[in-house]
Structure formats: structure tokens, C-alpha cells
Amino acid sequence: MVENYSEENIRTLDWKEHVRLRPGMYIGKLGDGTAPDDGIYVLVKEVVDNSIDEFAMGAGDEITIRVEERAVSVRDRGRGIPLGKLVDVASKMNTGAKYDSAAFKKSVGLNGVGIKAVNALSETFIIQSFRDGETRTASFTRGELNEDSGMMTTNEPNGTLVTFMADKELFGNYHYIMEYLESMLKSYVFLNAGLTILFNDQKLYSKRGLHDLLVENMNGEGLYPIIHLKGHDIEMAMTHGRQYGEEYYSFVNGQHTTQGGTHLTAFREAVGKTVREFYKRDLELSDIRTSIIAAISIKVQDPMFESQTKTKLGSKDIAPGGIPVRNFIMDFVSRELDNYLHRNPDTAELLLQKIIEAEKERKAMAGVQKIARERAKQVSLHNRKLRDCRVHYGDNHELKRASSIFITEGDSASGSITKSRDVNTQAVFSLRGKPLNSHGLTKKIVYENEEFNLLQAALNIEDGLEGLRYNNVIVATDADVDGMHIRLLLLTFFLQFFPDLVRAGHLYMLQTPLFRVRNKKETRYCYNETEREKAIKKLGPKPEITRFKGLGEISPDEFKHFIGKDIRLEPVRVTRQDSIDSILSYYMGKNTVERQEFIIEHLYIEKD
């Protein structure tokens, strides 16, 4: 039967209704705060971006940010929003000063959307402007104006104060992970020399910009001193480490473009071209880039991003009718990096040695790689290991962010997940037995070991993260000793050979319930003993209690509840203070006695 379609079916949403109905268009995924790209962090970023733009225009060198429980406040020392337009700026879509390039020449937020999205998605939103001895405050609930104080006198310095609480109706029982916020805020100070951010009374400040950013994110010393070059509207820093793969941090107008874009593509190309020409050798680009850690920051007038979340630059020009991004970056890198290498022959020699080492390793593995790739193709054709999903990285950004692969062990567990999954966005990779402990091994083992080779091929990460086919890589193992061991072995594999996958926040551990507690009317799934005890009290005397010993014991009908919208994922996080080499050596090395002493000591403390 064809549904009736008439004028009554046509609706016009006001701005706040549209934001709340389609939040993904404005902040990406909602999330609960367990992932660094969850919407609650985007809300904070949208507010802070406005304060950063004030600093970039020379107004205010200090921003105070407090996050307590769910309440966020951001106070800058900028010019302050013109008081007569305060309510409009917070509640009228496409309203703002950033359309006027004289006021904001090279800012991040250009479309007058960000602060309005924060307003609409917050259960409480208060904005106050201080300007030349006067102040005005407006408070909102989910975008609806509650109170407007009107003009009042003040002794406070100029600037803007925004306080908000994201709406639990939309974000659920969310929480902020301070480490994610600190990482984001440190990026701001690295990119804005002279800016001080006070985050929960912690002072964040940087003198050397991108140089400090690399030091902050590296495990140990680079193979040669960091090459740090600055020009008008462009800055770069690079060195090589001992890790596998490539690690890049790219920024546009202070915005961390986590998915890169035209500027990062040009930078990678420029480094390869310049190094080839400097040494006058036809070096392989992969050898030049292996183990590189680099950062590139540019300022663009009227930047064009591929989405409101601004994670990928689409601009081809530096300015309307101006220099193409590629040419701008190529010219700068070719000139300045070449000059640097000529002026620093010791660094140039160390860089060449690193490239030659990468070349030798690549040639040594060439035969193994060819056989491994053919094997991976054959397995893919017969679909023995990977049950793929239908949608990967296309134009649909929401599906892209939702794309996941579950890495599990055993036919029963992979079978349950396969029958329960969303075939559009969720893939399943089935391991056979326990993986090898890869600590201390060379990357050659990735190609010689069938499980590692096929997993690498499934993820498409052999040449870096640019081709990663799944945004979320989820380890799904039994909650027993063997399952925990498999988790550790897989984590060792990723940290050893693909640490950028972990650092970029793509790796998770799936949490599945340990208990099912039910009576004739209700069923509750419990992830720990505390939840189990609460369920028993709630459901009354003698409920049926089942202890799940493995994923294979959970029926597909039940499993779909645990990998759907209520999925519980534990992100794998490596802090900047963590040395991956030290972590792997201690937990996966041959120091068995030392680990035994550690376990015994902590068991004793636990008993006390």
C-alpha cells in the first residue's frame, strides 16, 4: 500500500529542532565520552575554537577552562561579543562575525553554526559577554531562551564566558575523560605561541610550537634532532623514530584535522620529493616515510572542510583565487627543508642512514610480502577468515564513523557475533587459536605468520592508516584467563607494529556481560558482581542466574543487544607519558621473575 503524500507531510524545522534531530550533521557521533571523537568533546572544541580565534586576532592571551562532572565553562579574555547581538549569536543560525573577513581573517569556525549547536544540544547553556565595563547574560535550555539579563555594569575584563551541560537525553550517561580533553587543549597551545590555557588549574603553555608537540608525542628520542621550520602561515616539524609506520599531526587554522586532507597529502609528497632531490637518489617513498613522525600546520583564509566536525580539509586554495594548497606547501618544504639539510650535514647523514636501513628491510621482506599478499587474496576470495560488512569509507561520514570490525577467537564466538551484527557496518575476523607473542620480533613476522598477515590485510594498514577500512577495531574475547591472554597478545601486536592505530584511538576491547539475571517478567544483563547484586535485589527472590563462561554461550538473539546501540567499549589508550618499548618489555618480555614479584606484591596490597 502506498502511503498518502500531501502538504501535511511537509515540515519546516526551526534551527534547534534540526540540530537535535540530526546531531550527526553538526558534531559527528553522539557517544558517551569513551572515544576521543565523541560529540561531547566536539561541543567543548566548538566553544574553545571561538576563544582561540580571539587570541589569533590579538585579543586575549589566556583562556580558563573548567570541567567538573558534566559542567563545562570556558572564559576567554578576548574582545567580548557585542552585547546587542549576544542572544542572536547564541540562537540564530548563520549569525556571527566570521563572515566579515576583516574581523576574523583565518579562523576555524566560519559558518555561524558551532556555538548554536552547543546551545541546542545542552540541557543548560549560559553565555555572558564582558565588554568595556558592561556585561550581558543569556541562559537557555535546549536552545530555548530562559532569561536575558539585559545590560549591566561590571568590573570584569573584556571577554566571553560560556557554561554548558550536554543533554543527557541525547548523550545518555556520558562522562569526560580528562586525558582526551588535555590532549585537545595541548594541541591549541602548541599551535598558538604565547597562549596560556588554565585547565582545571593546570597551566598549559608552549614556547616551541610543533617542536614541543613532537616531543610530547614521541616515545624517547628521535633518530636525529627535530627539524622545525616556520614561515608565513605555515609551520612544520619532523624526525624519524624507531616505530613502524608513519605518524602525522596536521592542523588548519589551529584545528586538528585528524583525517588529514589536501594539506597533509601535499606535505607527505613534498617531504619525499625534497629528500630525493637532496640526496640525488631515486629513493622509494615508503623508505623515506617509514618511522617518520611529523606535524604540519597551515593557515588558510576561508577553509573548506568536508564536514562540520572539521576533521578533513577539502580546500585546494590558500585564499579565494590564491595559491593552491599543494603549491604553497611544496614550495615551502622544498626550499626550507633543503636549506636545513645543507646547513646540518650531521642530521642529513642520520636521515640517509635511516632511509637505507628501511630500504634493506623492505628488500629483505620483498619475497615474503609477495607470497603473503597472494595468500591474503586467496583467503579473502574464499571468505574463511573475514566476514566483511557492506559499507566502508565512502561519502557517508556517519557510516564511516560507525564502521567496525570484531576480532574474535573460535567458531562459536565468531558465529554468534556474525549472526547478531549489523551487516552494513560491522565485520567479523575470526582468529584460530592464540596469536604469537610478537614482542621483540621484526615486521617480517607479520608476513610470515598467517594470522597476523591476514589481519593486517583485512584492516588494510600495511602502508599506514590512510587505508584503514574500519574506524573501530574491536577485540572481542572471552572474559576468562585465556581470553585476557589473547587480548594481551593482540595488543602487543598492534603496539609493536601499528602503534599509530592505538594512538589514533581506533582500538577497543568489547565488554560483554558476565551474568544474566531474570525472572518471568524481566531479564537483566550484568557486567560485574556489583551489577549482579543490584539485579538480584531488583528482581526479587530466587531469580534465575546464568554465568556466561564464553562468548559462544551467548545466543545471537541476546548478542545483538551487546553490539548494538548499547555496546560497551573500553578504549585502549596510550598516554604521552607511556613508553611503548618499556611497556612491552616489562609485560611481554622475558623478565618473568620481576612480573611474578609485581603480581605477588599487588595481591598482598589488595588483601590488606
How sure is the predictor about 204, in pLDDT bands with cuts at 50, 70 and 90?
Answer: very high
So what's the pLDDT on residue 102?
44
Could you report the per-residue pLDDT of 443-475, keeping only the tens digit for each? 888 888 888 888 988 898 887 777 888 989 999
**Distance (Å, whole) CA 42 – CA 27:** 6
Task: Report if residue 595 sits inside a domain.
Answer: no
So what's the pLDDT on residue 168?
93
User: Nearest 5°: CA angle at 10, between 400 and 119?
Assistant: 55
CATH number of the domain to which 301 belongs: 3.30.230.10
Closest CA to 132 of 151, 113, 110: 151
Residue type, 106: K
Residue 507: pLDDT above 50?
Answer: yes
**Distance (Å, whole) CA 288 – CA 298:** 23
Task: Report if residue 591 sits inside a domain.
Answer: no
Task: Report if residue 44 sits inside a domain.
Answer: yes
Residues 297 and 444 reside in one and the same domain: no
Q: Identify the residue with better confidence: 347 or 496.
A: 347
Residues 63 and 28 reside in one and the same domain: yes
CATH number of the domain to which 120 belongs: 3.30.565.10
Task: Report if residue 334 sits inside a domain.
Answer: yes
- Do the beta carbons of residue 269 and residue 217 sit within 8 Å? no
Residues 246 and 128 reside in one and the same domain: no
Residues 74 and 142 reside in one and the same domain: yes
Distances in Å between the alpha carbon of 398 and those of 167, 341, 389, 391, 401? 20, 43, 15, 11, 5
- Do the beta carbons of residue 587 and residue 488 sit within 8 Å? yes
Q: What is the mean pLDDT of residues 569-576?
A: 78
| CB-based burial label for 545 (10 Å; 0-12, 13-18, 19+) | middle
| End residue of a domain, out of 498, 526, 547 | 547
Task: State how many domains the chain has.
Answer: 4
Residues 192 and 272 reside in one and the same domain: no
Task: Report if residue 377 sits inside a domain.
Answer: no
Residues 6+ apart with CB under 8 A from 65: 44, 48, 72, 73, 74, 75, 185, 197, 198, 199, 200
So what's the pLDDT on residue 386?
86
Residue 393: pLDDT above 50?
Answer: yes
DSSP state of 219: S
Residues 20 and 151 reside in one and the same domain: yes
Could you report the per-residue pLDDT of 291-331, keeping only the tens digit for each? 899 999 988 776 665 554 555 665 565 644 567 888 899 99
Residues 406 and 287 reside in one and the same domain: no
CATH number of the domain to which 452 belongs: 3.40.50.670
- Do the beta carbons of residue 397 and residue 28 sit within 8 Å? yes
| Cβ burial 572-586 (10 Å sphere, 16+ → b, else e) | bbbeeeeebbebbee
User: What residue numbers bound the domain in which 147 lies?
Assistant: 16-204
Residues 103 and 45 reside in one and the same domain: yes
> What pTM value is reported for the model?
0.70
Task: Report if residue 343 sits inside a domain.
Answer: yes
| End residue of a domain, out of 160, 177, 204 | 204
Distances in Å between the alpha carbon of 298 and those of 111, 217, 319, 334? 20, 20, 12, 16
So what's the pLDDT on residue 435?
87
Task: Report if residue 169 sits inside a domain.
Answer: yes
Residues 480 and 541 reside in one and the same domain: no
Radius of gyration of the chain (CA): 26
| CB-based burial label for 119 (10 Å; 0-12, 13-18, 19+) | buried
Could you report the per-residue pLDDT of 73-100, keeping only the tens digit for each? 999 999 999 999 999 888 876 555 544 4
How sure is the predictor about 364, in pLDDT bands with cuts at 50, 70 and 90?
Answer: confident
Residues 6+ apart with CB under 8 A from 587: 488, 595
- Do the beta carbons of residue 429 and residue 477 sit within 8 Å? no
% of the chain beyond a pLDDT of 70: 84
Residue 549: pLDDT above 80?
Answer: no
Residues 65 and 184 reside in one and the same domain: yes
Residues 172 and 220 reside in one and the same domain: no
So what's the pLDDT on residue 111?
41
496: left (phi > 0), else alpha (psi -120 to 50), else beta? alpha
The total of other beta-carbon atoms located within 10 Å of residue 7's CB is 5
Q: Identify the residue with better confidence: 59 or 314.
A: 59
Residues 244 and 185 reside in one and the same domain: no
**Distance (Å, whole) CA 520 – CA 211:** 63
Task: Report if residue 442 sits inside a domain.
Answer: yes
